Amino acid sequence: MSLVNSKKMFEQAYKNGYAIGAFNVNNMEIVQGITEACKEENAPVILQVSKGARAYANHTYLVKLVEAAVIECPDIPIVLHLDHGPDFDTCKSCIDGGFTSVMIDYSSHPLDENIEETAKVVEYAHKYGVTVEGELGTLAGIEDEVSHAVGSYTRPEDVEKFVKGTGVDSLAIAIGTSHGAYKFKPEQCTVNEKGILVPPALRFDILKEVSKRLPNFPIVLHGSSSVPQEYVKMVNENGGKMPNAIGVPEEQLREAAKLSVCKINIDSDLRLAMTGTIRKFFNEHPDKFDPREYLKPARANIKEIVRHKLRDVLGCAGKADECK
Ligand SMILES: [Zn+2]
């Protein structure tokens, strides 16, 4: 099958209590690791490209890599999505260039400007069957060019006006997740019996209030990596320096996926798996210099972590057929 938009996926995900994984792609090994996992698990998937990814790898290379994945994985539905589109022109260029879904992120602007710019993107996108994600509230943290020192939670009282005023297909909200590998400061956390830092819970009260106001409407969570401590350890034991990297507990994401959250964005966990694996390889094999030798285990570990997310966190393993 060819690339699809996110409409059918979100309908099924909403109805059946799971979420679609949205994984960021920047090069061939990442595209392969993710899609091989989805193929084996028979899972629908969203491959997303940020402004930073387009600057790094070039729009055409990314589109062609994703098109190659579509050919290699003919039985699973794949969406090509723009992550954090900064303005109408970037969204338009992606729509014209083969994307099947875009995000317009005007969340740091006043509500009325956010509505106006988002509506403009929706009007253009829908002419081409492209679905649109908007955002209300801001996430703290750093992700490519998107950076905020402090976040602000989504105000549930704004959501109906925003969705009605724009016609968006899904809405990203801020309930305590954040971008990057340092989502919480140690002082925000409590320590459990094993001595592991436990971050504060996501604001499920806001999620539930938003869902009450927007029945049957798909919600998106950004910044939802869990920062697996095994990989943080692997990085740190092999010359890296990532003290106090903390993510969102997977049980909370599983809980959100059972509710109205239909798309969960995961990027840092894949970066960590890749970097940890390569650092370990270099440490153990200082004589090796063939990129294929260290990219191969990195790709294999990306695949493993994605499989785990599909099965144990998102709940979308085995759901490819119903999303077609
Ligand atoms: Zn994001």
pLDDT at 159: 98
Assign 299 to helix, strand or coil.
Answer: helix
Which tens digit of pLDDT belongs to each residue from 31-61?
999 999 999 999 999 999 999 999 999 999 9
Q: What are phi and psi of 55, to 5 degrees?
A: -70, -35
Which residues, including other chains, have CB under 8 Å from residue 200's CB and lie 6 or more apart?
176, 184, 188, 189
Which tens digit of pLDDT belongs to each residue from 119-152?
999 999 999 999 999 999 988 777 666 777 777 8
Q: Please tell me what DSSP assigns to residue 264.
A: E
pLDDT at 324: 94
Flag whether the pTM goes above 0.85: yes
pLDDT at 5: 98
Ligand 1 centroid distance, CA of 288 (Å): 36
Ligand 1 centroid distance, CA of 73 (Å): 26
Ligand 1 centroid distance, CA of 81 (Å): 12
Residues of the chain predicted below pLDDT 50? none
Q: What residue spans define the domains of the chain?
A: 7-323
How big is the CA angle at 80 (ends 79 and 82), to the nearest 5 degrees?
130
Ligand 1 centroid distance, CA of 289 (Å): 34
Name the CATH superfamily housing domain 7-323: Aldolase class I (3.20.20.70)
pLDDT at 192: 86
pLDDT at 139: 85
205 is catalytic: no
